[in-house]
Chain A
Amino acid sequence: MKDCSVGTELPPLTIEATPTFVVSTALATRDFQDVHHDRDAAVQRGSKDIFLNILTDTGLVQRFVTDWAGPEAFVRSIKIRLGVPCYAYDTLTFTGRVTERDGDDVVVSVSGVDSLGEHVVGTVAITLGGE
């Protein structure tokens, strides 16, 4: 059985936020806002470059936790708060640790950091599945 005691650190996950990554995740989440795929439009709106959308952050946070918890962990909730943007060409590193444990119910706190600072913080509640 996986160690899920409070304080357990998750293995970090590093994401290279290439332009391809930013654009393909925006479109795979059906988010067609121009700032996520059109660099000229993003710059015109005051951004440095295209940047990750929030639906992708939710997906990445889920992946980060289930990569560790196993394919049958049941994801109950994903709560995230956004900080600095994650622009194309940046690198995003997720870290996390178990903050609550009640039987099979586990809460993981997650932080995703890029070169500008904390891009996303949040908590994921899961129920552990069979292994």
Chain B
Amino acid sequence: MSIQEAAERIAARGESAPRAARDAVNQAMVNNWVEAIGDRNPVYVDEEFAAASVHKGLVAPPAMAQVWTMGGLHWTRASDDPLGAMMEVLDEAGFTSVVATNSEQNYFRYLRHGERVAATAKLESVVGPKRTALGEGWFVTTKTTWYVGDEAVADMVFRVLKFRPPSAGPAKTAAPVLRPVISKDTEFFWTGLREGELRIQRWGETLRHPPGPMPPDGDFDAKPDYVFACGRGTVYSYVVHHHPKVPGKDLPFVVALVELEEGVRVMGELLDTDPETVRIGLPVEVAFVKIDEELTLPAWRVAR
């Protein structure tokens, strides 16, 4: 199952069951919070001031909405928690690190002491893979709503980036890839990829790719050597592969025919790129996708 399919399945479950806050809204937790944050607003702590205010009594800081239902020190996620389920899927795919990127909270009213909130959560969207400064990753967006009884008192759209740290190495493939047939004529090319070199066959002055047994002019005595391509080029043509499934690949993916600065064209997957943004002429650079000790595939990334 692809990451997208797993996300759709989790999103289709809708809202999780309500999780009740451990404690009702109380002055002790408010005091800790305002002291730590340095918030001296008297409506949270000064009973007399609060009674005379628009609130007609003490209220909790609205920004504490999420605090009431935080898990605490010894906590495990509920089994129907959509964020937890999505994190597991991405962990298994090698996207093991997480960082919060967005929090958008709406407060419908302030909470008062003695009220006990409960939260439900649902998965809104999973977008990726995206190339980010932290590494390749997926943006996971959830929506949480806090209730007192049946009344929604606050909600939050929360987005995290679940990413693969660059040091974590190549992507884990879910299934074996289709392997190329390596002949005596093409062996130098695959050996080069294993060593991080993009090698292009040369017959005299003429470069030729894909490599073959004969020079373009058909001289039987000619012997080829190769040059090291600089690895920069532009998209000459491309296809977006939606169907059928390909072993080891999440759909859709982009296959690009890239015209190198050296003048020859080389085919490979265009990695970490939204198919919508690909265009003829897009500058790209070579990438080396290590499948195992024997096989490294050439691929492309959008040039920075």
Give me the interface of A with B, judged by CB distance under 8 Å: 15, 21, 24-25, 27-32, 45-46, 54-63, 66-67, 71-72, 74-82, 129-130
B62 touches A31 (CB 8 A): no
The residue that A54 contacts in the complex, of B41, B55, B61, B103, with Cβ under 8 A, is B103
Q: Which residue of A lies closest to B62 (CB)?
A: A75
Q: How far is the CA of A21 from the CA of B37 in the complex (A)?
A: 8
A28 touches B32 (CB 8 A): yes
The residue that A62 contacts in the complex, of B55, B61, B73, with Cβ under 8 A, is B61
Give me the interface of B with A, judged by CB distance under 8 Å: 29, 32-33, 35-43, 49, 53-55, 61-64, 66-67, 70-73, 75, 97, 99-107, 110, 165
Besides A32-B71, A66-B41, A71-B53, 5 other CB < 8 A contacts?
Answer: A27-B32, A28-B32, A29-B66, A56-B36, A75-B107
Most B CB within 10 A of own CB, among A27, A29, A45: A29
B53 touches A129 (CB 8 A): yes
B33 touches A46 (CB 8 A): no
Q: Which residue of B lies closest to A31 (CB)?
A: B70
Q: Which residue of A lies closest to B100 (CB)?
A: A54
Given A46-B165, A60-B37, A71-B49, A79 contacting B70 (CB threshold 8 A): no
Q: How far is the CA of A62 from the CA of B41 in the complex (A)?
A: 11
Q: How far is the CA of A58 from the CA of B100 in the complex (A)?
A: 12
Q: How far is the CA of A62 from the CA of B36 in the complex (A)?
A: 13
The residue that A29 contacts in the complex, of B33, B35, B38, B106, with Cβ under 8 A, is B33
Residues of chain A lying within 8 A (CB to CB) of residue B32:
27-28
B54 touches A63 (CB 8 A): no
Residues of chain A lying within 8 A (CB to CB) of residue B29:
28
Residues of chain B lying within 8 A (CB to CB) of residue A32:
71-73, 75
Q: Which residue of B lies closest to A23 (CB)?
A: B36
The residue that B43 contacts in the complex, of A29, A62, A71, with Cβ under 8 A, is A71
B63 touches A59 (CB 8 A): yes
Q: How far is the CA of A28 from the CA of B103 in the complex (A)?
A: 18
A58 touches B54 (CB 8 A): no
How close is A29's CB to chain B, nearest CB, in angstroms? 5
Q: How far is the CA of A59 from the CA of B35 in the complex (A)?
A: 11
The residue that A75 contacts in the complex, of B63, B66, B101, with Cβ under 8 A, is B63
How close is A15's CB to chain B, nearest CB, in angstroms? 7
How close is B36's CB to chain A, nearest CB, in angstroms? 4
Given A59-B61, A75-B63, A25 contacting B36 (CB threshold 8 A): yes
In the complex, the 4 A-B pairs of residues with the closest C-beta atoms, listed nearest first: A30-B70, A28-B36, A79-B104, A62-B63
Q: How far is the CA of A62 from the CA of B60 in the complex (A)?
A: 13
Q: Which residue of B lies closest to A84 (CB)?
A: B133
7 residue pairs bridging A and B, Cβ less than 8 Å apart: A15-B38, A32-B75, A46-B97, A67-B39, A77-B105, A78-B105, A79-B104
Q: Which residue of B lies closest to A56 (CB)?
A: B37
Q: How far is the CA of A55 from the CA of B36 in the complex (A)?
A: 12
Residues of chain B lying within 8 A (CB to CB) of residue A62:
39, 61-63
Q: Which residue of B lies closest to A76 (CB)?
A: B107
